């Protein structure tokens, strides 16, 4: 029986003029385009300089800023108001103002001040630009100190704290290394959770569900026949995802593939359960689509895909604690970057298993209630 139902499902999916293409174009788009396009690395920020000193030091400093490649000198203004105008016109993102007597004060050991201001309409861009600029200036500062100090080479007479930074597990802070595993989770959520939900509601809306209901086919068989094709597709798609991650980004999980597949299997159970819950409550495609959007937005915003959970307010952390996406993303990133194994992720495993139980019980209960 289920064999025949499955054959019908696959036939329908393959015969759909839209769905099979979408199922394969979607992961390609997500994995090929997104990590390249969306990146926190900011290059060529437009910089406006107000040099009131016109000295060697000020020239050197500007030179150092420009040569970092992060900034592009787009404007040189004579005063702050003029510079502000250029920011308002969107020609510059940041302003660096060097005061009069910059070199003189520095040489006399009095210390000098520079002013840095950023356009924070896009807070992320402003913040990151500011950090870059400040660290370049700090770097320049160290050079100046060493040069100006009477010992020449600046031996022990003036000691500064030297910091060596090491980024564990992602040494170059590569954004893509961090995003690709998380995007795979999103793909699984869409394919194994929301697509079957929509497929079930579609049968409801067409009236074919009623035909099945008056037949001796048990409801569980019917739902299983709906889920299994998407589970299969889900596994195929993450496998394709692994291949793309390897070919395009050179990413190979530091951990084992079977750890990922094991967690993926549990995760698929969770999202399918949620999908069935949605299909039980929605009676039209429109309703189903809207509920799906609702969950997708909440899941993604509160998953740590873009913004870390730790930076969220306390209440948002609580909401995120009930987000299965978050745990599986955790797992994916840990396996890919750190090479964690199942034993090291018992907390996530526990959380995911309880989600699987809760959602699937809910699915059964809500189904009973509706009938």
Partner 1 sequence: MLAIEVKNIAKNYSSEKSGKFIGLGKPFSDNDTRVDSDTGIEGISFEVKKGEIFGIIGPDGAGKTTLFRILTTLLLPDQGSARVNGFDVVSEYKSIRNCVGYMPGRFSLYQDLTVEENLNFFATVFNTTIEENYELIKDIYQQIEPFKNRRAGKLSGGMKQKLALSCALIHKPDVLFLDEPTTGVDPVSRKEFWGMLKKLKDQGITILVSTPYMDEASLCDRIALIQNGQFLKIDTPKDIISQYKNKLWAVKSDTMYKLLNDLRANELTKNCFAFGDKHHVSMDNDKLTMDKLREELGTLGHKNLDIREIEPTIEDCFMQLSQV
From the CB of residue 59, how many other CB atoms can be counted at a distance below 10 Å?
14
**Would you say 153 or 214 has its CB closer to partner 1?**
214
**Segment interacting with partner 1 (CB under 8 A) among 4-12, 50-58, 165-173, 358-366:** 4-12
Would you give the DSSP letter of residue 29? Answer: I
Q: Where are the alpha helices (DSSP H) in 207-256?
A: 208-213, 219-249
Helix/strand/coil percent split, the chain, to 5 = 70, 5, 25
The reply on whether position 88 binds partner 1 by CB under 8 A is: no
The answer to whether residues 264 and 186 touch, using CB atoms and an 8 Å cutoff, is: no
Smallest gap from residue 28 Cβ to partner 1 (A): 25
Among 130, 212, 224, 228, binds partner 1 (CB under 8 A): 212
**Segment interacting with partner 1 (CB under 8 A) among 71-79, 91-99, 201-209, 262-270:** 201-209
From the CB of residue 351, how many other CB atoms can be counted at a distance below 10 Å?
21
**Segment interacting with partner 1 (CB under 8 A) among 2-10, 65-73, 232-240, 295-303:** 2-10
The reply on whether position 213 binds partner 1 by CB under 8 A is: yes
**Would you say 221 or 344 has its CB closer to partner 1?**
221
Q: How many whole angstroms separate alpha carbon 191 and alpha carbon 231? A: 8
Q: How many whole angstroms separate alpha carbon 57 and alpha carbon 59? A: 5
**Segment interacting with partner 1 (CB under 8 A) among 78-86, 96-104, 180-188, 203-211:** 203-211
Q: How many whole angstroms separate alpha carbon 57 and alpha carbon 351? A: 58
The reply on whether position 12 binds partner 1 by CB under 8 A is: yes
**Would you say 155 or 210 has its CB closer to partner 1?**
210
Interacting residue ranges for partner 1, rule: CB under 8 A: 1, 4-5, 8, 11-12, 15-16, 206-208, 210-217
């Amino acid at each position: 029986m289920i064999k025949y139902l499955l054959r019908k499902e696959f036939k329908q999916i393959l015969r759909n003029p839209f769905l099979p293409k979408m199922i394969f174009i979607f992961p390609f788009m997500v994995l090929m385009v997104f990590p390249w396009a969306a990146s926190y690395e900011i290059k060529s920020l437009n910089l406006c300089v107000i040099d009131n000193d016109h000295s060697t030091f000020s020239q050197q400093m500007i030179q150092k800023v420009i040569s970092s490649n992060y900034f592009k000198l787009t404007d040189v203004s004579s005063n702050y108001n003029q510079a502000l105008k250029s920011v308002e016109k969107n020609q510059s993102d940041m302003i660096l103002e060097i005061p009069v007597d910059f070199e003189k004060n520095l040489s006399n050991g009095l210390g000098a001040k520079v002013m840095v201001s950023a356009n924070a309409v896009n807070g992320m861009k402003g913040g990151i630009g500011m950090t870059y600029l400040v660290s370049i200036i700090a770097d320049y500062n160290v050079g100046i100190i060493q040069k100006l100090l009477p010992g020449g080479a600046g031996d022990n007479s003036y000691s500064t704290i030297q910091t060596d930074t090491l980024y564990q597990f992602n040494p170059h802070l590569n954004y893509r290394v961090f995003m690709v595993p998380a995007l795979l989770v999103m793909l699984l959520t869409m394919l194994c959770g929301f697509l079957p939900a929509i497929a079930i509601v579609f049968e409801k809306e067409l009236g074919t569900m009623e035909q099945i209901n008056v037949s001796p086919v048990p409801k569980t068989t019917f739902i299983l026949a709906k889920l299994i094709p998407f589970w299969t597709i889900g596994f195929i798609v993450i496998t394709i995802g692994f291949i793309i991650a390897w070919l395009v980004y050179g990413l190979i999980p530091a951990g084992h593939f079977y750890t990922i597949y094991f967690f993926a299997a549990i995760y698929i159970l969770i999202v399918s359960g949620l999908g069935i819950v949605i299909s039980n409550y929605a009676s039209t495609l429109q309703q189903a689509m809207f509920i799906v959007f609702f969950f997708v937005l909440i899941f993604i915003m509160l998953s740590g895909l873009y913004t870390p959970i730790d930076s969220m307010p306390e209440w948002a952390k609580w909401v995120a604690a009930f987000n299965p996406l978050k745990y599986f993303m955790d797992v994916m990133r840990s396996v890919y970057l750190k090479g964690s194994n199942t034993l090291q992720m018992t907390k996530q495993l526990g959380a995911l298993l309880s989600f699987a139980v809760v959602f699937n019980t809910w699915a059964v209960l809500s189904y009973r209630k509706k009938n």
